[in-house]
Structure 1
């Protein structure tokens, strides 16, 4: 299993950033444009245990998988969500999104993802995997949140 973590400060209120993860499909697509649909399968009151069927477009192919909420916390100063899914029976993936309020207009965003190969042959892929995708994602979240925040100022 391989894990990557990246943190960044974002000049936007915590609620604005949180809406990109815990809001509408339209908001999610601003930071994850490859997600083409997200349909609730099971929704729990506390968030943990909720399952969404997600479709993800990679090139011309569309993958479908169930995303389960493993951790969920939503307070005014601290927000956290961790989801897990199985990608095509090749990898077990988790993604964690954590926000900490710095002040009314700034937040700290921490993204952690793990990738566990389910077949021995795929372990080789992880040897050469870099954090490029994680860095790009964190920068995308910052860019979108700050742009959205600037539009409402």
Structure 2
């Protein structure tokens, strides 16, 4: 299993950053997501499902994303999702925002990628850790950049 955790301080209000994680803005921070449509929205968010289509180069993958955890108050915003990619990987990702003051927010991005079959397990075992770090760092930087545009 591959896990990650990255934390930065973004000089922007918590609501400004949280807004980037809303359905209508998701492509700003995840440009490879070409379609994100709700399938079932549950009261309290947890258990809600979405169909997401991701494109990398010419390849597209469509999968179902489920909200596992959700918290939304003035001091803390948190969302944890899970999806299975290409029947080979079970991926969980969590986005946590903690208000430090009116103009700064701690952003914590954590997750794990678990191989579900021989191909998935082998890929995770042999895949370069550096490339995963690059993806995680890139995502965190995109969130920071987009939040700064709105702050």
TM-score (norm 2): 0.93
Structure 2: gaps (5+ residues): none
Following superposition, the deviation at residue 61 of structure 1 comes to 1.8
Within the candidate set 21, 36, 39, 1:38 is matched to: 36
Residue 133 (structure 2) pairs with residue 135 (structure 1): no
Following superposition, the deviation at residue 113 of structure 1 comes to 1.5
Deviations 1:68-116 (A, max 9, x none): 0000000111010000000010100011000000000100000012100
Cα RMSD over matched residues? 1.1
Name the residue aligned to 2:50: 52
Q: The residue matched to 2:94 in structure 1 has which SS? A: strand
Aligned mates of 2:23, 2:64 — CA distance in 1 = 17
Runs of 4+ in 1 over 3 A off after TM superposition: none
Q: The residue matched to 1:44 in structure 2 has which SS? A: coil
Q: The residue matched to 1:8 in structure 2 has which SS? A: strand
Aligned mates of 2:106, 2:149 — CA distance in 1 = 16
Following superposition, the deviation at residue 37 of structure 1 comes to 1.1
TM-score (norm 1): 0.92
Aligned residue pairs: how many? 147
Name the residue aligned to 2:88: 90
